[in-house]
Structure 1
Amino acid sequence: MRISTLSESECKVVLANHRVAHLACTNNWRPYVVAIHYVFADDVIYAFSLPGKKIEWMRYNPLVCLMVEEKQQGRAWKSVVVDGLYEELRDGIGRKHDEREHAWSLLGQNANWWEPGALKPETTLPSDQLPPVFFRILVKEISGRQARE
């Protein structure tokens, strides 16, 4: 087995070619890791979730980490880790609203993009349902490794 470092551009190719990652956040020295669907575009990671533990924790501490892995033939693999900054894309007027719509349009290009986070979001919600949270992760650092036979 030979393990080597991926270049930044190789890491970005891995991110762009996948849709599921593991997102890590922390609160009061406690880690939390969860699978999310995402899209990598414009050197930014876009995702969505219903309100809950990960959203609360990322609001409290916006420093997050995202890991994408790619199993290849035999024992070969690639792994990419992103250190980033959580930024919520709130609904409303202005730049954040436009970015939220952009995230929605990018995510919507993939089948079942709302899973595993929730049921498919609708443009109008029942009055008792909390709205989905669209967010992005601004990439601060990216690294990756690969193993080949």
Structure 2
Amino acid sequence: MIDLEPLQCEHLLSDNYLGRLAYIADNEPYVVPSTYYFLKEEKSILCFASNGHRINALRKHDKVSFQVDRIESFRHWESIQVHGRFEELAGDAAKQYLKHFAEGVQRTIDRKNAERPHFISHFSGKLQEAEMPVVYRIAITDITGKLVKEL
């Protein structure tokens, strides 16, 4: 097992759009899949969610972990672990970040020649609606990673 350098960790974050968010609610750990966009220039991960369990928990306890993997096989994988703080965005800034999120995720998908997720098409409508999702970012405080590549 090899430790990844910070730039390698950032590359894995930039090259993907699905990860797992870990947070605490009622003194219990939770892990949920999450679509994200990595804002390299801001050293943060951009996400959104509906108001509910996750958002209520994050508002109470802002320390989180975020994990992203690339798994080719049992003997060939890499994984990063991000530690950071939840920061809720509001108003026009939230709308701008949501637009940035949608465009960024689509660029990542296009680079990977993957399919277009159904939810991307709904963002333009959500930007105009009163019931917009909660847009937030994870301000990265630490990032580490591991690589296993056995032939």
TM score, norm. by length of structure 2 = 0.81
Q: Which residue does 1:48 correspond to in 2? A: 48
Q: Are 2:127 and 1:123 aligned? A: yes
Following superposition, the deviation at residue 74 of structure 1 comes to: 6.4
Q: Which residue does 2:98 correspond to in 1? A: 104
Match of 2:51, SS state, is coil
Is the alpha carbon distance of 1:90 and 1:113 closer, same or farther for their aligned partners in structure 2, counting shifts above 3 Å? farther
CA contact (8 A) 1:47 1:103 kept: no
Q: Which residue does 2:17 correspond to in 1? A: 19
Is the alpha carbon distance of 1:51 and 1:114 closer, same or farther for their aligned partners in structure 2, counting shifts above 3 Å? farther
CA contact (8 A) 2:88 2:135 kept: yes
Q: Are 2:27 and 1:29 aligned? A: yes
Match of 1:120, SS state, is helix
Match of 1:131, SS state, is coil
CA distance in 2, matches of 1:27, 1:62: 11
CA distance in 2, matches of 1:71, 1:32: 22
Is the alpha carbon distance of 1:18 and 1:54 closer, same or farther for their aligned partners in structure 2, counting shifts above 3 Å? same
CA distance in 1, matches of 2:118, 2:12: 18
Following superposition, the deviation at residue 120 of structure 1 comes to: 2.7
Is the alpha carbon distance of 1:108 and 1:139 closer, same or farther for their aligned partners in structure 2, counting shifts above 3 Å? same
CA contact (8 A) 2:80 2:145 kept: yes
Unaligned runs of 5+ in 2: 107-115
Match of 1:25, SS state, is strand
30-39 or 69-78, larger mean C-alpha shift? 69-78
CA contact (8 A) 2:9 2:143 kept: yes
Which amino acid counterpart does residue 44 of structure 1 have in structure 2?
S
Q: Percent identity?
A: 24
Which structure dedicates a bigger proportion of its chain to helix?
A: 2
Deviations 1:98-147 (A, max 9, x none): 3x2442222212143848xxx9342333x7xx431000000000000010
Deviations 1:22-60 (A, max 9, x none): 000002320111001000012210011111111010001
CA contact (8 A) 2:95 2:127 kept: no
Q: Which residue does 1:139 correspond to in 2? A: 140
